[in-house]
A and B are shown apart, each in its own frame.
Chain A
Amino acid sequence: MAHITINNVNKIYPDGTPAVSNLNMEIASGEFLCIIGPSGCGKSSTLRMLAGLEEVSSGQILIDGEDVSNTPARDRDIAMVFENYALYPHLTVRENISMPLVARNTPKGETKSRVADIAARLSIESQLDKKPAKLSGGQRQRVALARAMIRNPRMFIMDEPLGHLEAYLRIELRREIRALHESSGGTTMYITHDQEEAAAISDRIAIMYDGVLQQVGTFEELIDHPVNRMVAEFVGEPPISIVENGILTETGIKLGEVEFVLPVDTVRRAKKASGPFALGARPRDFQIVENDAHGLTAKIRSVQPMGEWAILLCDTAVGVLTVVSATAGAPQVESEITISPNFSRAHLFAADGNNLSVEGSLN
Chain B
Amino acid sequence: MTKISLKGLQKSYGKLNVFKDLDLTIEDRSYVCLIGPSGCGKSTLMRIIAGLEEANSGQILFDGDDVSALGCADRDVGMAFQNYALYPHLDVAGNLRFPLLAPRYRGMYSKKEIADRVGTIAELLEIGHLLHRNIGQLSGGQQQRVSLGRSLIRRPKVLLLDEPVTHLDARLRYAMRSELRRIHEVMGTTTIHVTHDQQEALAMSDHLVLLRNGGIEQQGPPMEVYSEPQTSFTAGFLGDPPRSIGIVPFRRNGGGFDLVLGTNAVALPAYLAEACRGSTDDSVTIALPASAINLSGGAMAPVAGTVTAHEMIEGAQRIVLDVGGVHFTTQSSQVRPVAIGDSLSASVDMSRVQLFSAKTGRRLATEVKEKEIS
Contact = CB atoms under 8 A, between A and B. Distances in A.
Interface of A: 38-39, 137, 166-168, 171, 174-175, 178-179, 182, 193, 195-196, 199-201, 218-220, 223, 233-234, 236-239, 284, 302, 304-308, 311, 313, 322, 327
B199 interface: yes
A160 to B, nearest CB: 13
A219 B169 contact: no
A133 to B, nearest CB: 16
Contact of A195 (B170, B175, B199, B204): B170
Contacts of A327: 223
Nearest to B238: A307
B312 interface: yes
B223 A200 contact: no
A219 B315 CA distance: 9
B318 A38 contact: no
B169 A171 contact: no
Nearest to A171: B242
Contacts of A166: 37-38, 196
B41 interface: no
Q: Which 7 A-B pairs have the closest CB atoms?
A: A200-B311, A304-B203, A239-B171, A175-B309, A306-B199, A238-B174, A305-B223
A307 B314 contact: no
Contact of A302 (B181, B238, B240, B308): B181
Nearest to B236: A168
Contact of A237 (B238, B242, B289, B314): B314
Contacts of B340: 179, 182
Contacts of A167: 196-198
Nearest to B177: A304
B85 interface: no
B58 interface: no
Q: How large is the interface on B (under 10, 10 to 19, 20 to 34, 35 or more residues)?
A: 35 or more
A186 B199 CA distance: 35
A193 to B, nearest CB: 8
Residue from the set B171, B177, B223, B308 with the largest chain A CB neighbour count within 10 Å:
B171
Given A166-B37, A306-B240, A239 B226 contact: no
Nearest to B329: A171
B222 interface: yes
Given A234-B171, A239-B171, A305 B222 contact: yes
B181 A233 contact: no
A200 B170 CA distance: 17
Contact of A234 (B170, B198, B204): B170
B170 to A, nearest CB: 5
Contacts of B308: 175
Nearest to B197: A167
Contacts of B196: 166-167
Nearest to A311: B203
Interface in B106-140: 140
B313 A196 contact: yes
A239 B174 contact: yes
A305 B169 CA distance: 20
A166 to B, nearest CB: 6
A145 to B, nearest CB: 16
B190 to A, nearest CB: 19
A168 B242 contact: yes
A38 B204 contact: no
A306 B223 CA distance: 8
Interface string B208-229: 0000000000000011001000
B202 A305 contact: yes
Contact of A199 (B198, B238, B312): B312
Contacts of B140: 39
B178 interface: yes
Nearest to B240: A307
B291 interface: yes
B8 interface: no
B223 A199 contact: no
B239 interface: yes
A194 to B, nearest CB: 9
B289 A308 contact: yes
A196 B196 CA distance: 16
A98 B358 CA distance: 39
A200 B177 contact: no
B315 A284 contact: yes
A307 B315 contact: no
A193 B169 CA distance: 8
A237 B318 CA distance: 16
Contact of B170 (A201, A220, A236, A284): A236
A343 B289 CA distance: 32
Contact of B311 (A137, A175, A220, A233): A175
Nearest to A303: B203
Nearest to A322: B174
A35 to B, nearest CB: 15
A307 B312 contact: no
Nearest to B311: A200
Given A175-B309, A179-B340, A302-B181, A233 B171 contact: yes
